[in-house]
Amino acid sequence: MPADSYERLVTKLKRVHHLGTVAGLLGWDEQVNLPPDSADLRAEQLALLAELQHAAAADSEIGTLLDELEDPVCHLLSDKCAGAADRRVVVREARKDYDRVVKLPAAFVAEKARLSSAAYHAWADAKERSDFSAFAPFLEKHLALAKQEAAYLGWGDRAFDYAIDKHDPGMTAAKLTELFAELKAGLVPLVREIAASPVRAKEGVFKGFPVEAQREFLREVTATLGFNYRRGRIDVSLHPFCEGPGADIRMTTRFDADNPLDSLFSSIHETGHGLYEQGLPLEAQGTPLGQNAGMGVHESQSRLWENQVSRSRAFWRFFEPRFREKFPAQLVSVSSEELYLAVNEVAPTLIRVDSDEVHYNLHILLRFELERRLFAGELAVKDLPAAWNALSEELLGLTPTEDKVGVLQDVHWSGGAFGYFPSYCLGNMMAAQLWFTVRAKYPELDTDFEKGDFSRLLGWLRTEIHEQGRRYETLELVRRVTGEELTPKYLLRYLRERYGPLYLG
């Protein structure tokens, strides 16, 4: 029976989802709690779970059920049947997922999971010793597997496009190149103007901030923004991340007594991810209606909360008094204007996650270009450090003196996450475009923020983005919500409006 077919399909999709959440939880634990000599066992555990999830996702009965539901005689997907629109989304996206997964051999999936676990520990060790050569063999293997996966799926001549599409469905290297070129053309002049400005943030503002007080403050901030700690938690890891479905979100941050903004803004960033996941329809989790639309959209949520909201004057008018209560001795000689300028300091840095908004996208352009060359065969893995350093000098005016602040700084390649970095830049563009859209609808948002009320913004994002699940691909979602195609012009406008008054007068 068709109705029974749909319910059976949903049951099977949720089984796949639950297995994935178990693997995700083990991955979170690996970066937060795992004893150092237990990595080999964890690699085997993750490989086993990858095999089990793959088997569940490739279950031939899913294909049979999809065939039944896609049959023209099946009335469940007809507009005459209540709820048909939602069911069409589930069936459409489930078909995409199924057709992709059945083309991947189970042994390949397990091999990739095993490699990702081993490569993470190799990366962490190589970064600590600043020795790229120790990590290079793992990266070479990941690159080979990425190309092999693309070939399995019929993208053999467009492996980089496949890597990008995995994270942002519908996006291509050509489209990214077009968007990034326009962004760079407007961004580089702004970077130069600010570099020539005599205005500089006060040095030594952030020194000696006790970690426990930082922890208390960031938890208060993230809860006020709307994160539900009854369905989530925050811990410490080498590299901040967010893992899990909305029913159980695991976030991480890291602490430095002389850099409290690192933990604060990385936590707000991950909270943006967490709010998105918590905003997806809970009853639909495990189906495409309860899944995010792609990593660019995901990053738009994290970057909007981290930057447009949390670096604004309105945000700090509310939180500055509390910040001073937590750190009275550290801030006693710092004026409000000095604090705000320090929060919005613009200065080039080698480290992407420490970068200010103005320079951040240059870090992404660097990584996008290097990945493009790797996939095109124009750059060998062994030559990555030199290529990274040269491009860093060209784009940022800074040359890494050691690998850990250059080519080894990011965790992403240890998991084979090629094509992910562009999502950050796409997210920045989307965040700015969403920002101007919501401010036009709710011009009183600043007043809300000054009162510590972020519910109006969160409610709008819930309705326009979170609750849509995977109904729309990235570019269509942006078009529907903002009324325009995705464009860098709003990001460039936002950066000038935020930083122009601070640095250019």
Number of domains in the chain: 2
Task: For residues 210 and 347, state if they share a domain.
Answer: yes
pLDDT, one tens digit per residue, over 142-195 is 999 999 999 999 999 999 999 999 999 989 999 999 999 999 999 999 999 999
Task: Flag whether 429 is in a domain.
Answer: yes
**Mean pLDDT computed over 80-89:** 87
Give this prediction's pTM: 0.93
CATH classification at residue 354: 1.10.1370.30
Residues pairing with 253 in the sheet: 236
Q: Residues 117, 184: one domain?
A: no
Is pLDDT above 90 for 75?
no
Whether residue 81 is found in the same domain as residue 182: no
In a shared domain, residues 99 and 219: no
Give residue 396's domain range. Answer: 173-503
- Report the C-alpha gap between 261 and 148 in whole angstroms: 41
**Cβ atoms of 201 and 345 closer than 8 Å:** yes
* CB 259, CB 206: distance < 8 Å: yes
Phi then psi dihedrals of residue 126, to 5 deg? -65, -40
pLDDT single digits (tens) 253-281 = 999 999 999 999 999 999 999 999 999 99
Asked whether residue 394 falls in the same domain as residue 479, the answer is yes
- How far are the Cα atoms of 221, 260, 288, 413, 441 from residue 320, in angstroms, in the given order? 11, 14, 40, 37, 27
Q: Are residues 389 and 277 in the same domain?
A: yes
- Residue 307 included in any domain: yes
Residues 267 and 133 grouped into a single domain: no
**Hey, which residues are catalytic here?**
270
Q: How far apart are CA 256 and CA 130, in angstroms?
A: 20
Q: Are 502 and 443 in contact (CB under 8 A)?
A: no
At which of 112, 138, 164 does a domain end?
138
Structure confidence by residue, pLDDT tens digits, 396-448: 999 999 999 999 999 999 999 999 999 999 999 999 999 999 999 999 999 99
Does some domain include residue 313?
Answer: yes
Instruction: Check whether 365 has a pLDDT greater than 90.
Output: yes
